Amino acid sequence: MEDEITFSKVFGEGGEIRKYFAPGRVNLIGEHTDYNGGHVFPCALSIGTYAAVRKRTDRKLRFYSVNFPDAGILETSLDDKAFRRELDWTNYPRGVVWAAEEAGYKADCGFDVLFRGTIPNSSGLSSSASIEVLTGYFLADLYGFDYDGIVNAKLGQRAENAFIGVNCGIMDQFAIAMGQKGHAIFLNTGTLAYEYAPLDLKGVRIVIMNTNKKRGLGDSKYNERRAECEKALQYVQQTFPVQALCELTKEQWAVAKETIPSVTLRKRAEHAVTENLRTLAAYEALKKGDLTAFGRLMNESHISLKEDYEVTGRELDTLVEAAWQQAGVLGARMTGAGFGGCAVSLVQEDAVSSFVTNVGQIYREQIGYDATFYEAETGSGPVRIG
């Protein structure tokens, strides 16, 4: 009701206002594998993005965010199909409108939309993918487009790649569009084959640790890492006819790595291949209820992301290494693209309070400002709520 009241204050009274929600996501393991044809293991969260939307009779698109009220209403139209830096965060939903039209889903009129996010901005919990999937979802509902969650995820990825200019894989959009409460998604990003894995954590909590260091994929080294992996793949393909690094087995990689002359490219590929193998092992460990093994694989993931992929940074390393020192911690690692954002940890329920206190104190002493902690609750995919 609060969003409806704000919507009417911002855009004026009248017309049917529809309301929607899409979650954020956290990836438990399988980082920087999604654009390398590998496996990922994310789950949707209960925090996310809300939208209140009303159709217009003309072709205008008007955007407003409760999170950025000083920006006011940002206005464009269905006919403006270019990325515009001055339109700031609205390029994410605009990109989805563009991607939908490119795929044959053409809106016949514009809309007014108010967004409200409960995901910390630049946290690595996919606020941008959340708004993309949410936009794809309400476009289908508003205009009667007939596509499923997987197509919606692809529209979001297309918007990110071709409109925003970030060469991300499909994990974020897929996890959000296809999320299921109480479950993680074991996804093969190369084939989009997936399984829902019950998250039976038996007295263990997922604790997300936010560095509060701002970051954005577009101005990070994300695209650089992807390009490095593509170069490494070209060397590997001289020996093995694979389409992606993560298709390699452990044995094949032992041979293939010798074909890559650059130490840096070899390290990038080393992470992609071994992270995929860790994700496969983590899924098997979860099926057996072996959370100790799952946590150990999380730790190994972070070390690889730090040493081979070099995407962690001082803030994330401080959080994770402090987490490793605490009683009741099964595992911890950075999650998301890196260079700031969040880390995720598995902590025994009775140790969560001391964990937050101790890790928070270490972080403040070493970094100079506070981290934010919250226990993750799994959520479901996008939904109309009114």
Kindly list the catalytic residues: 172
Among 226, 204, 234, 197, CA closest to 376: 204
The one-letter amino acid at 201 = L
State the residue for tokens 């994700």: 279
d(CA 349, CA 21): 29
Residue 182 host element (H or E): none
C-alpha separations of 135 from 123, 125, 131, 143, 269 in Å: 20, 17, 6, 12, 34
C-alpha separations of 341 from 122, 316, 359, 365 in Å: 6, 8, 16, 19
Tell me the sheet residues that pair with 23. 48
Q: Would you say 76 and 87 are in contact if contact means Cβ atoms under 8 Å apart?
A: yes
Tell me the sheet residues that pair with 329. 347
d(CA 311, CA 314): 10
Beta strand segments in the chain, E: 18-27, 39-40, 42-55, 60-65, 74-77, 111-117, 183-188, 194-198, 204-210, 329-335, 342-348, 372-375, 383-384
Q: Would you say 367 and 315 are in contact if contact means Cβ atoms under 8 Å apart?
A: yes
Tell me the sheet residues that pair with 184. 197
d(CA 119, CA 65): 13
Task: Name the 3-class secondary structure at 339.
Answer: coil
The one-letter amino acid at 163 = F
Q: What is the DSSP string of 195-210?
A: EEEE---TTEEEEEEE
Q: Would you say 29 and 278 are in contact if contact means Cβ atoms under 8 Å apart?
A: yes
Q: What is the DSSP string of 311-333?
A: ---HHHHHHHHHHHTSTTEEEEE
d(CA 268, CA 119): 30
